[in-house]
Structure 1
């Protein structure tokens, strides 16, 4: 009888905790005026209240922002949930859908470039945020994955500063960007920038990213890199078994390996939390 009573109490406790757990709110689409008469559609996750909230502009990878039946893919929704827990608003501009384009992973299909259109999207989003009363003007940061991370690296270069948009970004985080072009250009950053990449990433280039960060020392704002020894591309995605890319999925890179690395995923969540709290 005692066992049944204890079991019932435990069941009620789990049910109560589940009921009290705050679900991730549905994102709200916002429209941002951008260059060349483009209206940039973005998905906004915002804590309850009037703010002002620290805000993260989150940049999707080459597969795009949305899923087949949802405005935000699970991988980005997962990160939005993590960031909301730390009190951040999260704004995800859709660089491809806003231009009525699909995935841009295949080189022959790439019409939106990280160093050009996506930097313009970042700057338009930042200017829009500076006009919002709920956004803390001095705590707007960047985070990006893969192609979106490459755009982050371009956007924080001193040459990309828009004098009309003040204050500047608070900080930036780039998950497994393609550093190969930046490594040959003498990259530096004007805001604290964190790179996170797996040592076994054969889609991007860990060695080029090391070169980018090491080359910026002494002539740049703080730049730091974390290389996870056993991790491949997309290591922070949940429940993604390690596998080789076959080249048949237009929403994936053309070659290499992708997959979750549980330890790297957990550590990267902590790294992001600490970097944004700076």
Structure 2
């Protein structure tokens, strides 16, 4: 097979959306770095034995569960297995990405920041000012969950402790940027971050100029109806000027949630094209930062 045919085959493998039902991931519990909250997480693992790099997946403001089951969910804990908000109720997007990373040799951990705090139902659009979101906010609360996930993964025998990455969507994307800001010049934390359509205003970010020694890939939809891609570009450009390594991609015609594999979002050709490209860039971003 020629190199060109190999490249085409690889691209097809990376960008083909799952069409069959996927097995539910394992459930794990670990402490948040806040020192008081036990976080529930969902663990996707490669089939191959041995030690693997890992990635932490940070859900958006809707939470990690499908809207078909989450409206009546509140608390998710080790002692309450009866709730519908569990590994079987994860949204299609989170199942897709978790399985994507496992298929490519990564342990993927999806923490639920909302359920352990009695808010498994998540939040609707344009609810950023809702006071009920204060104790799960992306600036001072959720970054501690991501840091707890990093510590926990490093304790796992099947994880390569210095090859752990971060991915987040929307509110989780803002959280990921704040985690990288908290890391700053340190090179011992997350190796790189992949952020999808984050909120980039002062209410969402710890700083409007990011200082991160680890690389960041920022994927934005030009027609995002929830957050401002222009504001995120401004943050990125200022941060690049001060030495941070940030790659910004703006997908023409793509909306918020462009990588949601559901029919509604993927009926937009721009979203479908953006998702396929994002999968390729995701592998390139983490592979480029592994060594």
TM (normalized to structure 2)?
0.76
Give distance in 1, aligned partners of 2:207 and 2:31: 33
Gap runs ≥5 in structure 1? 1-20, 244-257
Aligned to 1:57: 56
Say yes or no: does 1:264 pair with 2:287: no
Q: Distance in 1 between matches of 2:269 and 2:175?
A: 22
Q: Deviations over 1:186-233 (max 9, x none)?
A: 223221100001111121111011111111124333111100011111
Matches within 5 A, 1:230-249: 230-241=253-264
* Structure exhibiting the larger radius of gyration computed from Cα positions: 1
Q: Following TM superposition, by how much is the alpha carbon of 1:36 offset from its aligned partner in structure 2, in angstroms?
A: 3.8
Q: Which shifted more, 56-65 or 231-240?
A: 231-240
Q: What is the Cα-based RMSD across aligned positions, in Å?
A: 2.5
Q: Is the 8 A contact 1:47 1:89 kept in 2?
A: yes
SS at 2:264's partner residue? coil
Are residue 98 (structure 1) and residue 116 (structure 2) matched? yes
Counterpart-to-counterpart distance in 1, 2:209 and 2:179: 14
- Is this contact kept in 1: 2:59–2:169, CA < 8 A? yes
Structure 2 unmatched ranges of 5 or more = 1-18, 70-83
C-alpha displacement at 1:146, in angstroms?
0.5
2:55 alignment partner, SS class: strand
Structure 2 residue corresponding to 1:132, chosen from 140, 150, 156: 156
Hey, what does 1:179 align to over in structure 2?
200
| Distance in 1 between residues matched to 2:269 and 2:147, nearest whole Å | 31
Residue 212 of structure 2 is matched in structure 1 by: 189
Structure 1 stretch 140-149 or stretch 202-211: which is displaced more?
Answer: 202-211
Bigger relative contact order (CA 8 A; separation at least 6): 2
Shift of 1:170: 1.3
Asked whether the 8 Å contact 1:199–1:232 carries over to 2, the reply is yes
**Equivalences for residues 214-229 of structure 1 within 5 A:** 214-229=237-252
* Rounded Cα–Cα distance in structure 2 between residues aligned with 1:242 and 1:172: 24
Instruction: Find runs of 4+ consecutive structure 1 residues off by over 3 angstroms.
Output: 21-25, 159-163
**Contact 2:194–2:282 (CA under 8 A) maintained in structure 1:** yes
CA distance in 2, matches of 1:162, 1:26: 37
* Alignment counterpart, residue 31 of structure 1, candidates 24, 29, 36: 29
Query: TM-score when scaled to structure 1?
Result: 0.79
The match for 2:226 among 203, 211, 226 is 203
Provide the rounded CA distance (Å) in 2 between the counterparts of 1:128 and 1:259: 39
